[in-house]
């Protein structure tokens, strides 16, 4: 499954005057592809899915698929805390031609491992497109255990990988050790993008790619041609920006940065709030050091 490797950028969902900004999304998609991103994803964590109605999520997924237009792989975020909504969105993603669906562990209700197995199995069996599991225990309050991932891979041939937004690097090592490096494991933690590649991961889904897509994609490209020292240097070069993207809750800093760069309006929806003035000043300093904006 080589076509789903590399930097799969989790795009923000741009809003303008409180409404989904479809033209803004199309502009972001073009910029990402022109910058060398290997894939595009929408309505994952960075895309504020819980701030969108189900109809809006379908509209964002359709608009993104049309903008990408098969130029690179397109991965639709379809997970929800509601099982039937997840089924609906995943079937919709297949209908509009998504290359894969990214399905997050249900949040808030904290299901056990058997519940997670049955949920993901039912979702995978409802479609024929590839399914990428999404484990983000810091936000969902549940961890998708390695044995459960293995059960799902064995039960459903279209479950082809997992995005691990898991700071436990030992967990990721043991996951790859058990499932093998043909199983596609993506880092969802910015500081682990390079380490995950080093142990056989397939790529990463990095919020920082919203702001510096060319450099974030280059990290994978360097590793792919065994330029490990250059990749290591780039890993450390990106670290201050990676940190700045989480100065407050994602995607607030990324949207603020894109607003300062003139790409989109930086609007977020409640209950998220705009970046504080103090943190915006810090973000501006970081962006200026990367020549993304002029010195404040």
Six-digit token pair at 241? 């920006």
Does 163 participate in catalysis according to the annotation?
Answer: yes
| H, E, C per residue of 92-119 | HHHHCCCCEEEEECCCCCCCCHHHHHHH
108 is catalytic: no
Closest CA to 21 of 50, 44, 47, 45: 47
Of the candidates 70, 107, 121, 163, the residue annotated as catalytic is 163
Sign of CA dihedral 67, 70, 72, 78: positive
Q: Is the dihedral of CA 267, 65, 211, 39 positive or negative?
A: positive
For the chain, give the number of residues.
Answer: 296
Q: Which of 121, 134, 204, 255 is catalytic?
A: 134
- Per DSSP (E only), the strands in 69-208 are 74-77, 100-104, 131-135, 159-164, 184-187, 203-204
> Which tokens hold the place of 17?
């005057």
Which positions are catalytic?
A: 134, 163
């Amino acid at each position: 499954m080589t076509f789903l490797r590399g930097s799969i950028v989790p795009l923000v969902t741009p809003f303008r005057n409180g409404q989904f900004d479809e033209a803004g999304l199309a502009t972001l998609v073009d910029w990402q592809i022109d910058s060398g991103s290997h894939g595009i994803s929408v309505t994952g964590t960075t895309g504020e899915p819980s701030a969108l109605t189900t109809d809006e999520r379908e509209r964002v997924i359709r608009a993104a698929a049309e903008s990408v237009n098969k130029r690179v792989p397109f991965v639709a975020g379809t997970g929800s805390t509601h099982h039937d909504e997840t089924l609906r969105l995943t079937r919709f993603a297949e209908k509009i031609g998504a290359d894969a669906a990214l399905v997050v562990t249900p949040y808030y209700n904290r299901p056990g491992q058997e519940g997670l197995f049955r949920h993901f199995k039912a979702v995978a069996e409802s479609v024929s497109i590839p399914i990428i599991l999404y484990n983000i225990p810091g936000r969902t309050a549940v961890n998708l255990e390695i044995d459960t991932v293995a059960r799902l891979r064995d039960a459903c041939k279209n479950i082809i990988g997992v995005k691990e937004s898991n700071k436990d690097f030992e967990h990721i090592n043991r996951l790859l050790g058990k499932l093998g490096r043909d199983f596609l494991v993506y880092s969802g933690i910015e500081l682990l993008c390079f380490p995950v590649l080093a142990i056989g991961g397939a790529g990463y889904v990095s919020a920082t790619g919203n702001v510096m897509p060319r450099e974030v994609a280059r990290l994978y490209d360097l590793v792919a041609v065994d330029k490990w020292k250059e990749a290591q240097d780039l890993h450390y070069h990106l670290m201050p920006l990676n940190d700045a993207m989480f100065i407050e809750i994602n995607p607030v800093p990324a949207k603020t940065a894109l607003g300062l760069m003139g790409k989109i309006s930086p609007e977020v929806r409640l209950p998220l709030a705009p970046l504080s003035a103090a943190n915006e000043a810090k973000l501006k300093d970081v962006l200026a050091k990367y020549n993304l904006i002029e010195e404040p």
